[in-house]
Amino acid sequence: MNSKITIGRSHRNPLVGRSSELETLRQLLFVPQRGAKAMLISQKNASAIPLDTLRKPQCMVVMGEAGIGKTRLAEETSREAHERGWAVAWSRSYAQESTIPYRLWIEILRGLINSDPWQKQELIQHPLVYSRLTALLPELYDQLPGTTAAPSRQHPGQEQQSLWEAILELFELAIERTPMLVVLDDLQWADTSSCELLAYLVRRLSGFPIVFLGTCREIEMAPKHPLRPLIAHMQREHTITTLQLQPLTDVAISTLISSAQLPEKVQQDIRKQAAGNPFFAEELAYSYNATSTTLPANPTQAVRKKSSSLPRSIAAALDQRMSKLSRDCQQLLGNAAVLGGSFEFSLIRSMEISNSANDEDTILDLLDEALQSGVLTEEGRGARISYHFWQPLLVSHLYDGLSATKRAQLHRRAAAILRQSYANRESEGAATITHHLVEGGAEPQQIVRYATLAGDRAYALSAYPEAERYYRIATENVQAALAASDHSNQDASFQENHANLAYLLEQLGECIRIQGNYEEARRVYEQLLQERGSRPHLTSPAETQREAQIDALLLSEVGWTWYYAADYGHTRQYCKRGEQVLRDAGVGGGPAWARLYFQQSYILWQEGKYDEALHAANKALQGFAEMLPEQRPHHVTVAPLTRTRRTLEGDPVDVARTHRLLGVLANSVGKLTESLTHMNTALAILEEHNHKREVAHVSCNVGYIHLQKAEHEEAQSFLRRSLTLAEQIGDLPLTAVIYSNLGILAAHTGDLPDAENWLRHSLTLAEQSNDQVYLSTFNVELATVYQDQGRLSEACTCICRALSIGRAIHNSPCIGIASIALGNLRIAQALASQEEQAAQGKETGSASPSTKQQDQYRRYLARAGKTLQRALTFDSLEAEARNRGQLASAQVSLLQGDTETAHLQALHALKQARQYELTWLVARSYSLLGTILSARGQPQEAYQYFEQALQIFRQCGMRLETARTLHNYALALLQHKDKAEPGHQQALDYLQEAFQISRSCHAPLAERTIL
């Protein structure tokens, strides 16, 4: 970056009260050096040391309220970095621009490319990188070598990945020459895509000479702001850290405003009003000092007050700051506030010249006046000079000060200028133009055009929340245009509006569905079907059949919204309606039928009818595969194809989705190798077409398969990849599943608090989308964690919820899984009652439990046995759940004293676990067999089983299972060894190790059992 760069604002007081925070930020600049060493270590010991244990965060977000000093600390850090020879890149988000994709990054990217002296050389050496960046920086077209090909049109979702990779390459090129500090101010207003890109770059550039520093008003972030889950997830990855700024002390505030030499009474008032906020304190001090030397009795009267959305004291301070400017300058800045927190000279010049006698020189003079006063800062050079308001609060204050009529007029004027500026590249400016058209109350047809372009651009970048916003705006306005039109005169414009509405509704429905808002998506799809029902009669048989296939596919989409609510009756109903539509139109095969078979297979899977589901899935695969040779690049459309059109043209992604389904079915019946084969086939197709959403889904499935096989490192790798993609695209239902799987992973490795945290988050997301199946299964998993923690009452509550949901939706697999969990809970309750009996016996000196206590113990075991026996009769039980139920049933037999039956049951469970490749359940079978054989007086055989179990559990990192096995092994040794024998000391060592492990796992029930 430019070595003559001026960083931050001028005319400031010295920094006070932030020495420790500034030192923390200084240390952040040393992380890349340590990170480079860590990368070398991790490369040498990659197989032994997980990357996360070496990673030091190279991204910090400074949190705090407005004016608390976040930006000031970032400025000081930037100066120090600049003095050390670092490049410094700054960008800031503004509330008015929070829906424009990648707005936060555009100026940074432009600055990287325009930085001398290596710009032209890099353009020549890396034309492909820069050509992909033209999506955000269209001016690059003019700078690229003439032979550089334009980026080819890619599959929806692929554009975003391609763009991100290009941005990553650009940063890698930039930091080859010098380390870099990237400062992102006011992240609470950043758009979703910008937040996701930040997470992507932070992860990919870990260990490189680059540091990311953000500021954020956490309190102003919406509950569903994308930054919240991103920060939480990245903190778990050790890729980000936060610094919370607290209010300054009264002493620090007094030091801060001491240069104003105000009376003590005024200083007291400032300290009270500022409440530790340095910006408020400085501005109030400036306001008081700027008034007459004779202050009124009430010092607050010295400041002019004005009705505003800001606190009165700050509004007054801002008014005082603005009062030093000329009237013309104030008016220009008020007009500029409509443009957001920053604006280019060319735009403000066009706005001012078109409405006044001001010429360019006059406007420059007014801007210079604002620059000299510090109200504006200037960036860029040549024809691309931009101005930034010194304080975002000032933008809001000036905007609030405009009348509604004036605002609308200025917005319309800005829209007209921007439309002319982006005449040959409308989609690039469509988001900004749409904002001004909407705020300016433009004609609906104008809004529809630009909102559709903005939606299509966001959709192509997989920015589904932003795409939804713009499609919704376009839909509302096209409906308004239709409502205002003359229905008796169905001219070309009328028909075009109906066609636009159909397109927008389908795109809107898909964006809403992806985010998990199934009820609203259903309403949108049903509205679309109603809209299509009013279309003119088709005379061509080919057109009739094509439209029938579209209707069938849309009926299928409505069915999916019911499916995810676990209402399989309605799902099947819409599936059958789709079939009837195809039959009535004479459509006997093709992709629409394949989609319906695909949906039928999912319904059958949820009902536990795995053979029928497999048959339907294979029919779907055949139907989709038959279309692939027929697909041709007929034409290139400006707008992206809707999902139904992609299916009709022959979409390889449909084939991949079906392989994923086949993998899920294979997993359900315990064929994990076959399941992985299907999943890998799906991944190969999806990665070839760079379909991020489906890659995320398949990666989650693959991670779960590795989890079942106790291959925890592989599971974590796939689940993390899936989570990164799911958060990028805003797929909340998938994110919930990944959270659940990460919770199971944490439970497997003995991190019970982390497991609880993941699973509680998964339930929260499942509740948002009202996914009944996942609400049931997630409650079962959380109950298991509570049980391991000894919180049996909470575990019971979760299991009751799971059973209630499963019965309400008539889902046999859910009922079966919850019943297995209930059986395990009864066993835990029996053991807890036995432990309580022993404790009471010690207190009373009684050697044997009472008859009542024995009856309670036997009652728990009898209920456990009956529950498990009933659950194991369910044909719909998936393989892993059945195997866990078999082991629990064997444990009940053992506790009831029937060691022969327990032995046979455990051997059968072991055989099934081996067949299903469920490694951790193989080890659990070994451990249980060791306990059974010890009880039967066969210690040598028991020891062999314990050793095999320990070997697997230690190798897989399953700490809690290791502790339980050590405990049971120790009891067996103590039972069969004399105190003088070496085995006795070995048993004591095992008990001690088991105690230490269980304590580190926060498993108090295990601790009490061991003690």
Which residue type does 81 have?
Answer: A
Q: Which residue has the higher pLDDT, 96 or 362?
A: 362
pLDDT tens-digit readout, 362-387: 999 999 999 988 889 888 776 678 89
pLDDT tens-digit readout, 157-192: 677 888 898 899 889 888 988 999 999 999 998 998
Q: Say how far apart CA 568 and CA 606 lie, in whole Å.
A: 9
H or E element: which one contains 389?
strand 386-389
pLDDT tens-digit readout, 950-1000: 999 999 999 999 999 999 999 999 887 665 577 788 899 999 999 999 988
Whole-number average pLDDT of the chain: 85
Q: Say how far apart CA 105 and CA 184 lie, in whole Å.
A: 9
Mean pLDDT within 20-39 = 73
Q: Say how far apart CA 928 and CA 934 lie, in whole Å.
A: 10
pLDDT confidence of residue 979:
58
Which residue type does 868 have?
Answer: L
pLDDT band for position 154 (cuts 50, 70, 90): low
pLDDT confidence of residue 38:
44
Neighbouring residues of 905: CB distance < 8 A, sequence distance ≥ 6: 886, 889, 890, 893
Position 633 pLDDT exceeds 50: no
Out of 468-482, 486-500, 826-840, pick the least confident.
486-500
pLDDT confidence of residue 843:
65
Position 135 pLDDT exceeds 50: yes
Position 156 pLDDT exceeds 70: no
**SS3 annotation, 303-338:** CCCCCCCCCHHHHHHHHHHHHCCCHHHHHHHHHHHH
What's the CATH number for 19-115+174-244?
A: 3.40.50.300
- Residue 174, helix vs strand vs coil: helix
Q: Say how far apart CA 59 and CA 181 lie, in whole Å.
A: 10
Q: At what angle do helices 672-688 and 652-668 cross, to 10 degrees?
A: 160
pLDDT confidence of residue 273:
66
Neighbouring residues of 247: CB distance < 8 A, sequence distance ≥ 6: 68, 275, 276, 277
For tokens 């400062």, the residue is 183
**Residue from 195, 198, 185, 249 nearest 222 by CA:** 195
Residue 680 CB burial class (10 angstroms; 0-12, 13-18, ≥19): middle
Q: Say how far apart CA 1008 and CA 742 lie, in whole Å.
A: 27
Q: Both tokens of residue 701?
A: 């499935």
Out of 142-146, 599-603, 712-716, pick the least confident.
142-146
pLDDT band for position 279 (cuts 50, 70, 90): confident
Mean pLDDT within 930-956 = 95
User: SS3 breakdown of the chain: % helix, strand, coil, rounded to 5?
Assistant: 70, 5, 25
Q: Say how far apart CA 631 and CA 636 lie, in whole Å.
A: 13
Out of 38-52, 109-123, 589-603, 862-876, pick the least confident.
38-52
Is-contact 937 959, C-beta < 8 A?
Answer: no
Position 335 pLDDT exceeds 80: yes
Position 823 pLDDT exceeds 80: yes
**SS3 annotation, 54-79:** HCCCCEEEEECCCCCCHHHHHHHHHH
944: alpha, beta or left, given left = phi > 0 and alpha = psi -120 to 50? alpha
**Residue from 213, 255, 217 nearest 17 by CA:** 255
Give one DSSP letter per residue of 675-687, joined into a string. Answer: HHHHHHHHHHHHH
Give one DSSP letter per residue of 563-601, joined into a string. Answer: HTTT-HHHHHHHHHHHHHHHHHTT--SSHHHHHHHHHHH
**Residue from 153, 127, 152 nearest 140 by CA:** 127
**Residue from 119, 51, 104 nearest 212 by CA:** 104
Q: Both tokens of residue 781?
A: 């998993």
- Residue 986, helix vs strand vs coil: helix
pLDDT confidence of residue 62:
96
Q: Both tokens of residue 792?
A: 């049996």
Residue 238 CB burial class (10 angstroms; 0-12, 13-18, ≥19): middle
pLDDT band for position 302 (cuts 50, 70, 90): very low
Neighbouring residues of 174: CB distance < 8 A, sequence distance ≥ 6: 87, 112, 115, 180
Position 26 pLDDT exceeds 70: yes
Position 845 pLDDT exceeds 90: no
Neighbouring residues of 102: CB distance < 8 A, sequence distance ≥ 6: 136, 191, 193, 194, 197, 461
Q: What residues are paired with 244 via a beta bridge?
A: 63
Q: In which order are the strands placed within the sheet that holds 180-185?
A: 87-92, 180-185, 210-216, 59-63, 241-244
Mean pLDDT within 135-152 = 68
Q: In which order are the strands placed within the sheet that holds 376-379?
A: 342-344, 386-389, 376-379
End-to-end CA distance of the chain: 64
Mean pLDDT within 675-683 = 96
Position 632 pLDDT exceeds 60: no
Share of the chain above pLDDT 90, in %: 53
Q: What residues are paired with 377 via a beta bridge?
A: 388
| pTM attached to this predicted model | 0.71
| E strand map for 93-220 | 180-185, 210-216
